[in-house]
Structure 1
Amino acid sequence: MKRLLHLLLFLALVPSLLALFPRLQAERPGPVVLLLDAEAVREEAKTQGKSLLEALAAYRALGVNGVAFPERFVKDWVANGVLLYRQGRELQEEGLPARPGWFYLKGDPKLLALLERAYALPSEKLGPWLGFPVDVQGFPAFYDLKEIAAAKAQGFYVAVRPINQRLRRLDPELPLVPKEADAVVFAGLEALGYPYRLEEARALVRRPVALIEGTPQPGFQAFREAGVLRLFSLRYEWQLTLSPEEAADKYTLAARERGHQLLYLRPYPYPQETARLLARLKEGLRASHIPLGTPRPRDFAPSPLRYAAWVGVGAGLGLLALGLPVYGPWVAFLLLLLALGYAGSQAGALLAALVFPVLGFLGPRNGLWLWARSLGYALMGAVFLSALGSSPAAVLGLAPFKGVSLTLLVPPLLVALSFLEKDFKEALARLYAHPLRLGEVALGGLALALLAFALLRRGNDAPLVPELELKLRSFLQDLMVRPRFKEVFGHALFPLALLLPWPRYLQNALLFLAGLGVASILNTFSHFHTPLLISLFRVLNGALLGLLLGLIGVILVRRLRTWWLG
């Protein structure tokens, strides 16, 4: 039976690999745009006595090929002298028949004509003044259309940042998205038109929209048909704590390892630091073979061959059922119910992530062959997981994988279950009667603490990531596609567990922790927004580095043991 299941496994592997080609084609790196924030540049230009376009031309010489125009507020036009602002009582004192509780604007006739139609508010004309019953200084008020047209004429990639506001009219004749715009980056924490006017807003947005990493914007899904571009930016307060080189490396990493196409930049307070940022960023992109240019939304049609992966997942589930020493069929059945009930359409991908990290532990403990077998099964499961889970929405990061925490929790527990003997009742009786040693309690506590630590510190922004690890991450990122520490740690434990004469219980404890590292392989591939080849290189680098460290650890432990025993 096992031979038949292995045959099905390998037969399903080939079409599953072929099913990944559309995703690999869509994930080709670049081109990217260095997108400079126009308002940040405007403030810098004022201090230098330059216009915005003059400042942008200087940045163009440094490699910037895009500019983002945040929508302006009424108060911005007032501050720049384009509009005058008065309260009704002030105009009354000047002899005009203004309403005392109203607010009035005067200035550029074209802008006033747009503002008169911009809001779902009563308004009145009082000679050259336009009045509203509420203070509109904080209301969105379009863009400087001449600046946008001039930037486009100079060859810049132009993005606009419209603001969602409940009282603004979504009128197609209003320039909410100017015709020169190449992309739309929604400002604030909501998509335009959220929550009740998304259909009206979607009719206005005919340009690709930017998905900002780390900034969920409710209503964004409504604009997917226009195309999605991934955008990376640094919060300015955090950027100022980084050197220009550190900031540039983060942007390079985002383009190389997370597929971002729009790199949203803000200048440092000193021009010299901004020049260093841009020089290091261009150098990093060049070294990563990522060109500057005009990005296109990454879309692909999933291959029908992906359904063959279900055969592989089913075969893996069957091997688990036959390989577990106790209740194997029941465990496999419960895993199937869990995946179908919890993950729905992602059930096959979740099953692959839960089952395949365990299969390598079900065979004989024949030295490092157990490590190679575990790695092989995990990579096979990664193929099935990627084939079944790689939808365009998942790759863009719009549909997160369901069950990320389960991929780190369930496989180590199944590995521990595989350590039970078939006559588990007698084994449990021996365990109950086993005299407790302080060292064994300490080792058990350490194992549980490491498992909890691994679960609580998932992701780059987890609260339990030590500062030393962050520095080591940065160092490794400069050398290679950085492996995950859980995987390095897990692979390193295999030689230590299998090549040294530990008691059985201690070897089991080490292999249990090693199982956490193998589970992390499938967890890595479940982050579908990371390019597939980057995940593969991350896993292989972690396996090789971990194995090397483990072999060094074996040598050190043997020498320490020789010294201790005299």
Structure 2
Amino acid sequence: MKLLLNALLLLALIPSLLALKPRLQAERPGPVVLVVDAEALREEAQSQGKSLLEVLEAYRALGIGGVAFPERFVKDWVSQGVLLYRGGRELLEAGLPAKPGWFYLKGEPWLVTHLATAYDLPTERLGPWLGFPLDVQAFPAFYPLEEIRAAKEAGFFVVVRPINQRYRRLDPSLPLVPKEADAVVFAGLEALGYPHRLEDAKDLVPVPVALIEGTPQPGLTAYQEKGTLRLFSLRYEWQLTLTPEEAADKYVLASRERGHQLLYLRPYPYRQDTERFLKRIREGLEASHIPLGQPRVRGFTPSPLRHAAWVGVASGLGLLALGLPIYGPWVAFLLLLLALGYAGSQAGALLAALVFPVLGFLGPRNGLWMWLRALGYALAGAVFLSALGSTPETVLGLQAFRGVSLTLLAPPLLVAFSFMRGNYKETLTRLFLHPLRLGEVALAGLALLLLALALLRRGNDAPLVPELELKLRSWLQDVMVRPRFKEVFGHALFPLALLLPWPRWVQNSLLFLAALGVASILNTFSHFHTPLPISFFRVVNGALLGLLLGLLGVMLVRRLRAWWLG
């Protein structure tokens, strides 16, 4: 039966691999565009007595190909002298029949005309003055159109940043996105029209929208049919704590390993630092063979061949049921229920992530063949997971994978469960009555600590990452696709566990920790927004580096053991 299930698993790999072709074609790196924030350049332009376009042209030589215009507030126009803003009582004192509790503005005719119909508020006219019943200073008030037109005519990629506001009128006769815009990046923490007017708002956005890395914006998925671009930016306060080279490396990494197409930049306070910053970005993109240019929407249609991956997942679930020494069918059935109930449409992908890291541990402990078997099953599971879970929503990052924590927690626990034998009651009794030794307690505490660290250190913003590891990460990502430390650590434990004469309980403990590294392989591929080739090379580099370190560890332990025993 196991032979048949393995044969079905291998047969399912072929169509599952073919099903990944549309995603691979959509994930080709680049082109990317370096977009500078227009407001961040405005002070520089004013200090030099130049127009914004003149400053932009100087930055073009440094690689800048786009400019982003945040939507202005009424108060911004007032501070620039384009509008005058007065309370109703002031106008009353000046002899105008204004309403005391109202607020009035006047200025550029085109802007006043636009604001007269921009909000769902009553208005009144007092000659050149336009009145509102509310203080509208913090209301969105469109863009500097002349600057936008000039930037577009000069060949820049134009991004606009509209602001969501509950009184904003969403009317097709009132264009909220200038016709010169190439993309939209919503300002603030929510998409335009969220939460109740998304259907009205999405018809007013005719260009692709951007998904900002690390900034969830509710309502963004409503704009998916317009196309989605991935954007990376650093919070300016944090950027200033980094050297230009450190900040640039983060932008290059985002483009190379996470598929970002818009790199949203703000200059450093000093021109020399900005030049170093942009030079390093250009060099990094060139070294990664990522061209600069106008970004394209990365859409794809999932292949129907992906459904064949369910045959592979079902075969893996069957192998788990047969391979566990006790209650195998029940465990497999519970995993199936868990995946269907928790992950819904992603149930197949979650099952692959939970089952395949365990299969390599269920066979004989035949040295490094066991490591190779575990790696092979994990990579097969990664193919099935990627085939079933790769959709435009998950690849773009609009929809997260359900069960990321489970992919790291459940497989090691299943591996530990596989160490139980048929006489498990006797085993548990002996374990309960076993006299504790200080060394065993220390090892058990270390195992629990490592398991907790594996869970707490998920993601790029994990809180428990030592400074030394951050520096090592930075060095590794300069020379290769950086492997995950959990995988390096897990692969290194296989030779230590299987090539040295440990007592059974020590070997089991080491294999339990090694299962963390194997589970991390599937966890790596569950980050669908990372391009598939990057995930693959990350896993391969982790396996090779971990195996090498493990073999070195075996040599060291053997020498230490020989010295200790005299």
User: Do 2:175 and 2:204's aligned partners in 1 also have CA atoms closer than 8 Å?
Assistant: no
- Residue 78 (str. 1) matches residue 108 (str. 2): no
Residue 392 (structure 1) aligns with:
392
Q: Which one-letter code corresponds to 1:234 in the other structure?
A: L
- Equivalent residue letter for 1:536: F
Shift of residue 446, structure 1, vs aligned partner:
1.0
Equivalent pairs counted in the alignment come to 566
For the residue of structure 2 that corresponds to 1:362, the secondary structure is coil
Return the offset for 1:174.
2.4
What are the residue-to-residue correspondences of 1:392-411 with 2, within 5 Å? 392-411=392-411
Q: Does 1:311 align with 2:282?
A: no
Q: Separation in 2 of the partners of 1:249 and 1:403?
A: 30
Per-residue CA deviation, residues 324-355 of structure 1 (Å, 9 max, x unaligned), is: 11111111111111111111111111111011
Whichever residue aligns with residue 133 of structure 2, its letter is P
Paired AA for residue 76 in structure 1: D
Distance 2:205 2:166 in 1: 17
AA matched with 2:442: A
Q: How does 1:356-367 map to 2 (within 5 A)?
A: 356-367=356-367
Deviation sequence 1:27-52 (CA, Å, 0-9, x none)? 00000010110111112211222111
C-alpha contact 2:183 2:207 (8 A) present in aligned 1: yes
CA contact (8 A) 1:119 1:167 kept: yes
Matched residues in 1 for 2:436 and 2:383: separation? 44
- Are the aligned partners of 2:249 and 2:280 in contact in 1 as well (CA < 8 Å)? yes
String of CA shifts for 1:1-24, please: whole Å, max 9, x gaps. Answer: 111111101110100000000000
Instruction: Give aligned-pair identity as a percent.
Output: 81
Which residue does 2:474 correspond to in 1?
A: 474
Q: What amino acid does structure 1 have at the position aligned with 2:197?
A: R
User: In 1, are the aligned partners of 2:257 and 2:534 still within 8 Å (CA)?
Assistant: yes
Q: Which amino acid aligns with 1:167?
A: Y
Gaps of at least 5 residues in structure 2 are none
Instruction: Please give the alpha-carbon distance, in whole angstroms, between the structure 2 residues aligned to 1:541 and 1:432.
Output: 41
Amino acid corresponding to residue 138 of structure 1 in structure 2: A
Shift of residue 423, structure 1, vs aligned partner: 2.2
Asked if the contact 1:66–1:157 (Cα under 8 Å) also holds between the matched residues in 2, the reply is yes
Cα distance, 1:565 vs structure 2: 1.7
Task: Note if contact 2:492-2:551 (Cα within 8 Å) is conserved in structure 1.
Answer: yes
What are the superposed Cα offsets for residues 174-224 of structure 1, whole Å, 9 maximum, x if unpaired? 231000100010000111111111111011011100001111111111111
Once the two structures are superposed, residues 249-302 of structure 1 have per-residue CA deviations (whole angstroms, 9 ceiling, x without a partner) of: 000000000000000001111111111111100110001111111111111111
The match for 2:261 is 261
Show the counterpart of 2:326.
326
Match of 1:492? 492
Residues 490, 518 of structure 2: 8 Å contact kept:
yes
Partner Cα distance (1:57, 1:365) in 2: 65
Matches within 5 A, 1:10-159: 10-159=10-159
Q: Distance in 2 between matches of 1:132 and 1:45?
A: 34
Partner of 1:231: 231
The equivalent residue for 1:214 is: 214
2:349: which partner in 1?
Answer: 349
CA distance in 2, matches of 1:83, 1:426: 85
1:165-564 matches, cutoff 5 A: 165-564=165-564
Q: Which residue of 2 aligns with 1:161?
A: 161
Displacement of 1:563 in angstroms is 1.7
Distance in 1, matches of 2:173 and 2:43, equals 30
> When the two structures are superposed, what TM-score results if normalisation uses the length of structure 1?
0.99
Cα deviations by residue, 1:502-551 (Å, 9 ceiling, x for unpaired): 11100100000000110000000001011011000000010011111111
1:463: Cα distance to partner? 1.7
Distance 2:222 2:200 in 1: 11
What's the offset of the Cα at 1:97?
2.0
Deviation at 1:433? 3.5
Moved more, 439-448 or 85-94: 85-94
Whole-Å separation in 2 of the counterparts to 1:168 and 1:308: 49
Root mean square deviation, CA, Å: 1.0
Shift of 1:429: 3.0
CA–CA separation in structure 2 for the residues paired with 1:328 and 1:120 = 63
Q: Distance in 2 between matches of 1:431 and 1:192?
A: 60
SS at match of 1:339: helix
Report the Cα distance in structure 2 between the residues aligned to 1:332 and 1:456, rounded to whole angstroms.
27
- Distance, in Å, in 2 between the alignment partners of 1:166 and 1:332 is 50
Q: Is the 8 A contact 1:142 1:175 kept in 2?
A: no
Distance 1:366 1:329 in 2: 26
The whole-number CA distance in structure 2 between the counterparts of 1:86 and 1:314 is 71
Q: 1:45 & 1:551 partners in 2: Cα distance?
A: 60
Query: What secondary structure sits across from 2:294 in the alignment?
Result: coil
Secondary structure of residue in 1 paired with 2:232? strand
Helix, strand or coil for the counterpart of 2:373?
helix
1:28-83 Cα deviation digits (max 9, x unpaired): 00000101101111122112221111111111111100011100111111111111
Contact 1:35 1:68 survives alignment (8 Å): yes
Q: Secondary structure at the residue paired with 1:118?
A: coil
| Cα drift, residue 428 of structure 1 | 2.5
Query: Is 1:162–1:184's contact at 8 Å kept on the other side of the alignment?
Result: yes
In the TM superposition, what whole-angstrom CA distance separates every residue of 1:425-461 from its partner, at most 9, and x where no partner exists?
2322332343321111111111111111111121111
Q: Structure 1 counterpart of 2:351, which letter?
A: L
Mapped partners of 1:47, 1:550: distance in 2: 60
* Residue aligned with 1:15, SS: helix
Q: 1:174 & 1:467 partners in 2: Cα distance? A: 52
Q: 3-state DSSP class of the match of 2:537?
A: helix
Q: Which stretch shifts more, 264-273 or 416-425?
A: 416-425
What SS is found at the alignment partner of 1:65? Answer: strand
Partner deviation per Cα, 1:362-408 (whole Å, 9 max, x = no partner): 11111111111100000000000000000111101111111111111
Partners of 2:144 and 2:480 in 1: how far apart? 44
Determine if contact 2:160/2:183 at 8 Å carries over to the other structure: yes
Gaps of 5+ in 1: none
CA distance in 2, matches of 1:207, 1:17: 33
TM-score, structure 2 length as denominator? 0.99
2-side partners of 1:396 and 1:130: how far apart?
44
